[in-house]
Amino acid sequence: MPDVGEGLTEAEILKWYVQPGDTVTDGQVVCEVETAKAAVELPIPFDGTVHALLFEEGTTVDVGQVIISVQTGAEEAPAAAAPAAVEAPAAAEAAEEPAAAARQPVLVGYGVSQASTKRRPRKAAPAAQNGSAPVALPAVPAQPEAAPAAAALNGNGTGHAVGERPLAKPPVRKLAKDLGIDLASVVPTGEGGVVTREDVHAAAAAAITPQAAVPAPAQAVPVPVPAEAEAPVAGGARETRIPVKGVRKITAQAMVGSAFTAPHVTEFITFDVTRTMKLVQELKEDPDLAGLRINPLLLIAKAVLVAIRRNPDVNASWDEAAQEIVLKHYVNLGIAAATPRGLIVPNIKDAHAKTLGELSTGLSELVATAREGKTSPADMQNGTITITNVGVFGVDTGTPILNPGESAILAVGAIKLQPWVHKGKVKPRHVTTLALSFDHRLIDGELGSKFLADIASVLEHPRRLVTWA
């Protein structure tokens, strides 16, 4: 599993495009994986024949683990293939320490971290004595049968020597810390006495229900399966548990962090957008904009950019370490998008410098890419202000939570025909409600109110797109 950068340490295998026996060529996509930020296709870096797929679809794999074995060169001796990290090496070598210098598969735009695959030397390395690699490689995942032997090494029931620091990858250590589990008390089932994430989960379950620790260690290692396979299996089932991972997991963590870090304030405004709706129809018929997607969201995005120009101090971020407010002289406009894998917020880079047509193109590409699940991590970085359109679900408004690191988020409610006083008479008019949540460390009540009022003013009288631009 290549190092994808962006601080990510694991990825879930969504789909294999090859099977054992298939011929692969340099650059051919062999699988699709989902990190905590996006789904990405992985290419193979050499020619050969697929020997084995070491993890099933739906399995979450740590960065640096070998996921596929490929035999290069039909006449080559197995030992000659040892320098390549994902060729057919000895099972023990492939499982624990792939050669970092030879590992080349990377996600597009990201390099391979040479340090991410380094692990401590194993206590035992059962290698073939004749120098040839074993034919079968399914021993890469940790074997449950190793647990009793590992535990017996030191007679303390854990497999760790007294005072010895347990062996575990950084992601496993973080998981143990989050769950409040002492790694020294965990029975390792990984080869060489390495604590795996399954071991930590088993220890956490045993801490809650001690009787669950009675079965043999082999029962403590669950077989990963996709979320789709965990639907109710019986008509009388009262609960269904769905693992939270990938995009949903990182979104949940980010929202909790944002909600309890940035002091949120939300303000609302309800107003008449009839003129904006008429302008949308006129722009759809404009030959200069032929082929572009014109909708209310486009003009709302433009209104936000105009309001930021009038109130530049809202476009900022909080530097906790330096205790400084960082004013941004660019706008990376985020658009919250609901996808099958969860909510993501890609952003249009330098939206402030784009024409209406360029902004329309940017919105269309952003939404299409998000729906296909192909949004890259870079597209979701460095956002400044976000728009979330809850109106498409028929919702009038809401109190949105800030995207971490951003100063404000605007929720757009449903646009509906309602009785409205217009020029002294009650008439049916298109009315909507905007809700603006902002970080009160960056934006005080006056600035936030002016910014929201300016957005509404532009949409109520869209000629201000020109007069205020």
Catalytic residues: 440
Secondary structure E strands in 359-415: 385-389, 408-412
CA distances from 117 to 47, 63, 94, 120, 330 (A): 23, 7, 11, 10, 38
Q: Taking the CA of residue 139 as centre, how many other CA atoms within 13 Å lie in the half-sphere pointing to its CB?
A: 20
Beta pairing class for 324-327 and 316-319:
antiparallel
Beta carbons of 296 and 276 less than 8 angstroms apart: yes
Measure the CA angle with vertex 108, ends 104 and 112; round to 5°.
Answer: 35
β-pair partners for 69: 52
Taking alpha carbons only, the member of 40, 43, 1 closest to residue 24 is: 43
Beta carbons of 310 and 331 less than 8 angstroms apart: no
Q: Which of left, alpha, beta for 419 (phi over 0: left; psi -120 to 50: alpha)?
A: beta
Any residues with CB less than 8 A from the CB of 448 and at least 6 apart, and which? Answer: 265, 267, 314, 408, 436, 438
